[in-house]
Amino acid sequence: MSPAGPPGSPGRPGAGAPADPSWDCPILHVDMDAFFASVATRDRPDLQSVPVIVGGGHRGVVLAANYPARRYGVRSALPMTRARRLCPEAVVLPPDYGDFESVSSSVMEIFRQVTPVVEAASLDEAFLDVSGATRRLGSPRRIAEHVRARVSDEQRITCSVGVAGTVAVAKLASRRAKPDGVLVVPPREVTRFLHPLDVGELYGVGEKTRDQLHRLGLRTVGEVAHTPVATLQRGIGNAAGAHLHHLAWGTDRRTLTPRRPTHEPDRSMGADETFGRDTDDRAVVLRELLRLSAKVTSRMRTAGVAGRTVTLRVRFADFTTLTRSRTLGDATDVTAEVHATAAGLYDALGLQRARIRLVGVRVEGLVPREQVQRQLVLGARERGWEDADRAVDAAASRFGGGAVRRATLLQGDRP
């Protein structure tokens, strides 16, 4: 097994360069760390190191628990009454499903910018086949680090990544990489990684199958691997026995079927930013709104979509949060138009000396770009902001994301 090291340069290493075992591991499993709890607390630095439970009601169940709470034995699906007994000092937060789906959608956008072959397993995890992205982004290990860095930078939560040649091994590797890590399991090390594990750890093996195997005297994956397939089939059924044999040798599924999470709305794209220090400077806020608008519209153009509704999100120093939206006459993917709308929404709030902690921009009601017929304006320039955006996109594609920047964004670092 190979934990992540310093990323190398794109392309396979030349002669004399240190070998990267991840080149033979095109399947990534990316799993958000304590996703619901992480999203619920990402704007609460005071809660980062204390036990937090996400759930609702005295008779409800735990939706999620952060890692400090898990050390007390609190787990998802546990009755809230029992969770409170296990960890009476835990802070209990109500779930914000809109926020969860919004973050999930943004994370899945990051994955699809790496590769179109993304098989989402749920709101907070997905498999990626990055074999087509290595020429552009480097080895699978390097791509895993790239994904982790973007998720952390843009969504302020962490994820763990398993890198392997098959789906089930990548899933197990991400579990072993938690929290906030990468683990590479190259093909030559698969059996050494798998065979000491309890059979219940195999991806897709539930409690009932595990108990059946334990009753047959098969407790480790290695014991299952060295049991004749016919014996496994007699014990747990023909299909299950054959599948389990492949899992035990790490020869399971290697191809992915692109699909989205069941609950992923995928009708909006957005980004937000928490300032390094609270600010009441309008110029600073508008500059940040421009940066966020550029980020969002760039993703939209990459995805070939446009949207009509622009939503502004503002969080104050006391964590009070406001959202305001405006629907445009035509769908757009133009940075200047989205920014002007977001700035207008901000000014309409009439804030004076209000300390702001976070701002966000989201474009909703997305439709395929080819369906948009923009109204021609009499006397308008032949070349406008739309053409400028596409020129910036072309430069960024060739020379990197920082090749061209708007002059306003050069006036100072973000606060």
- Residues 177 and 41 grouped into a single domain: yes
- Residues 377 and 404 grouped into a single domain: yes
Establish if 97 belongs to a structural domain.
Answer: yes
pLDDT mean over 346-373: 86
Establish if 254 belongs to a structural domain.
Answer: no
- Residues 299 and 406 grouped into a single domain: yes
The residue out of 186, 210, 239 marking a domain boundary is 186
Please report the pLDDT score of residue 65 as a whole number: 95
| Mean predicted lDDT score pLDDT of the chain | 85
Instruction: Mark whether 145 is an active-site residue.
Output: no
The angle formed by the CA atoms of residues 338, 343 and 349, to the nearest 5 degrees, is 135
Residue 303 has pLDDT above 50, yes or no: yes
Bond from prior residue into 261 cis (ω within 30 degrees of 0): no
Residue 1 has pLDDT above 90, yes or no: no
Determine the Cα–Cα distance for residues 291 and 30; give it in Å rounded to an integer.
Answer: 27
- Residues 302 and 364 grouped into a single domain: yes
Determine the Cα–Cα distance for residues 189 and 104; give it in Å rounded to an integer.
Answer: 32
- Residues 1 and 142 grouped into a single domain: yes
Q: Which of 125, 273, 288, 337 is catalytic?
A: 125
pTM of full prediction above 0.75: no
Q: How does DSSP classify residue 376?
A: P
- Residues 121 and 227 grouped into a single domain: no
Please report the pLDDT score of residue 129 as a whole number: 97
Beta bridge partners of 316: 356
Domain residue limits at 280: 268-410
User: Quick check: 189 and 165 in contact, CB under 8 A?
Assistant: no
pLDDT mean over 373-395: 54
Query: H helices within 206-266, ranges in order?
Result: 207-215, 221-225, 229-236, 238-249
What's the number of domains the chain is made of?
A: 3
Q: Output 408 or 111, whichever has higher pLDDT.
A: 111
**In this predicted model, what pLDDT tens digit does every residue of 56-87 receive, in sequence order?**
766 678 999 999 999 999 998 898 999 999 99
**In this predicted model, what pLDDT tens digit does every residue of 198-224 receive, in sequence order?**
999 998 898 889 999 999 999 999 999
Pairing label, strands 27-32, 125-129:
antiparallel
Q: Is the dihedral of CA 275, 94, 125, 81 positive or negative?
A: positive
Annotated binding site for Mg(2+): 31, 124
Query: Among 178, 147, 176, which Cα is nearest to 164's?
Result: 176
Annotated binding site: 31, 124
**In this predicted model, what pLDDT tens digit does every residue of 11-22 receive, in sequence order?**
565 544 457 899
Determine the Cα–Cα distance for residues 27 and 140; give it in Å rounded to an integer.
Answer: 8
CB atoms within 10 A of CB 304: 11
